[in-house]
Amino acid sequence: MKKIFVLISYLVIFALSVTAYQAKLSSPIAEDKGHLLPVALKSIASGTTDQELQQLVKTAGKNDDKLSIAGMQHSQGGQTLYPDAIMVDMKPYNKILSFNPGQKTITVQSGATWDDIQKYINPYHLALKVTQSQNIFTVGGSLSVNVHGRDIRHHALIETVQSFRLLTAEGSILQVSRQENQELFTSVIGGYGLFGIILDVTLELTDDKLYQYETKEVNYREYDSYFTKEVLANDQVKMHLARISVAPVSFLTDMYLTNYLLAPDQTRLEDYDSLKRDSIIALPKFFLGLARINDSGKNTFWNVQRTYTMKTDGKLISRNNSMRSDSTFMDYDHASKTETLQEYFVPVNEFADYIDDLRSMLEKEKDFNLLNITVRYVEKNEEAVMSYAKEDMFALVMLINQGTSKKAVKETEAFIQKMIDLTLAHQGSYYLPYYSYPSSLQLREAYPRTEEFFKLKQKYDPEERFMNLFYKEYQE
């Protein structure tokens, strides 16, 4: 009798496990890298050909299913996802379609990563014009958020796009450029997957060059003047990156920076053009871990960062290698905390005053765990409908350690809204890919063409076939 009871128990457990597994398959959970907003999907689908993706869209239309588009899912906050939608995973759609070294152009499917492109073009001594500092993202995802990087001569990604093909809500394929379907060109780039599926993209490339690091320490009050006179006005400086201290010992006062100067001897490029991967990951992970814990850890992390950067002065690096950090040292797994990003844009001439006001605000918020601020430059570009650079701006990218409980998320949201109000008061704006902490009013102040954007969405997708939480949250 006991053996029969045990056997029945095992059968019950097995049946429950199978049921749970089938439920998981039928309603998979997707989430972004911050793990704050898991979304239950209807299913996950993909395609490797135009015909497969077209059929997917047409079938969704017949069944009145919503579609959400995903690449590497690094757009934090789950804005590109939607409950009970079919998530279209674009990663398998990743071929290099054509390459013209003479014209310095390449056409790739949108699921290809920047790493895929770099590996393909590096033997031809060509490089990307614009991408993030990391190369792990898909091209389609990067277009959908209109990324920018550390290059101070090429700015928003939209500048480097010649054309792309778009699979619309009706299942038709359109050629999109500044000459054809121009309205879609400026709304799809930076459009967060709301207008259709970007199929393939033709991008402009540039020459791979050998750069020489130049490092310097400055006070935040000197930074805008130094940047304008010594960096932007110097044609030999091609890239630039700065960090401002969040360590208590020098909180929002001390800065160090790296300029990437054109190396005097370009014949040495071949000595440095083998594509690298990040190394010695354990050490930066260790010091970043200390910074999460207390003020002493933040002081140590800042000193290590600054000291290491200063030691790179005079060293050489290829352009491609300067644009391919995989940043795995920032991977973070904690039971009750996560790490999120915020990015604020402020006019160059507002930088010092903005930092003073930001410091005053942050010093009163002792529980706000700010780990790092990176500063980049973005030139004015209003070509995309949802453009963030209304004038020449410094972009401040903030890494924040926060709790995952409902209470912690609400507290973070309230404080971030205060920081956004401060940014707006300094004629700034903020970057859209991160959590939907900003209010609807803040969105419309930072992005004056928001209503135009939503009307274009209704024009090109009146059935709202392509849906995400960003649109649900802010469309009124």
CATH number at residue 191: 3.30.465.10
One domain, residues 138 and 257? no
What the block records as the tokens of 248 is 């208590």
Phi-psi domain of 171 (left: phi exceeds 0; alpha: psi -120 through 50; beta: other): left
E strand or H helix that includes residue 239: strand 237-244
One domain, residues 107 and 234? no
pLDDT score of 17 more than 50 = no
E strand or H helix that includes residue 106: strand 105-109
pLDDT score of 329 more than 70 = no
**Domain CATH code at residue 274:** 3.30.70.2520
pLDDT in tens, 449-468: 999 999 999 999 999 999 99
Residue 136: pLDDT band (50, 70, 90) is confident
* Mean pLDDT along residues 266-285: 81
Residue 335: pLDDT band (50, 70, 90) is confident
One domain, residues 20 and 161? no
**Domain CATH code at residue 39:** 3.30.43.10
Alpha helices in 96-190 (DSSP H): 114-121, 139-144, 182-188
Q: Which domain holds residue 41?
A: 2-89
pLDDT score of 10 more than 70 = no
Alpha helices in 64-165 (DSSP H): 114-121, 139-144
SS3 337: strand
* Mean pLDDT along residues 424-443: 94
One domain, residues 459 and 371? no
One domain, residues 117 and 151? yes
Which pTM does this prediction carry? 0.91
- Beta carbons of 258 and 214 less than 8 angstroms apart: yes
One domain, residues 318 and 437? yes
* Mean pLDDT along residues 18-24: 43
- Beta carbons of 178 and 168 less than 8 angstroms apart: no
Count the domains in the chain: 3
- Beta carbons of 470 and 386 less than 8 angstroms apart: no
257 DSSP β-pair partners: 216, 242
pLDDT score of 273 more than 50 = yes
| Domain stops at, among 89, 121, 138 | 89
Which has the minimum average pLDDT: 20-29, 283-292, 350-359? 20-29
Tell me what pLDDT residue 319 has: 96
One domain, residues 241 and 320? yes
Count the Cβ atoms, other than its own, within 10 Å of residue 235.
Answer: 9
pLDDT score of 316 more than 60 = yes
Angle of helix 351-364 relative to helix 406-425, nearest 10 degrees?
Answer: 150
Residue 15: pLDDT band (50, 70, 90) is very low
Q: What is the DSSP letter of 201?
A: E
One domain, residues 231 and 355? yes
One domain, residues 161 and 308? no
- Residue 336, exposed/middle/buried by CB under 10 A (0-12, 13-18, 19+)? exposed
Q: Cα–Cα distance between 427 and 447 in angstroms, integer? A: 12
pLDDT in tens, 378-424: 999 999 999 999 999 999 999 999 998 999 999 999 999 999 999 99
pLDDT score of 320 more than 60 = yes
Residue entry with tokens 């869209």: 57
pLDDT in tens, 146-179: 999 899 999 899 999 999 999 999 999 999 999 9
Residue 279: pLDDT band (50, 70, 90) is low
SS3 48: coil
pLDDT in tens, 183-217: 999 999 999 999 999 999 999 999 999 999 999 99
Q: What is the CA radius of gyration of the chain?
A: 23
SS3 119: helix
One domain, residues 258 and 368? yes
Q: Cα–Cα distance between 60 and 67 in angstroms, integer? A: 7
Q: Render the burial of 462-471: b for 16+ CB within 10 Å, e for the rest.
A: eebbbbbbbb
One domain, residues 237 and 251? yes
pLDDT score of 103 more than 80 = yes
Which of 120, 173, 165 lies closest to 143, judged by CA? 165
| Domain stops at, among 29, 58, 89 | 89
One domain, residues 336 and 409? yes
Count of CA atoms in the C-beta half-sphere (13 A) of 162: 13
| Domain stops at, among 40, 57, 89 | 89
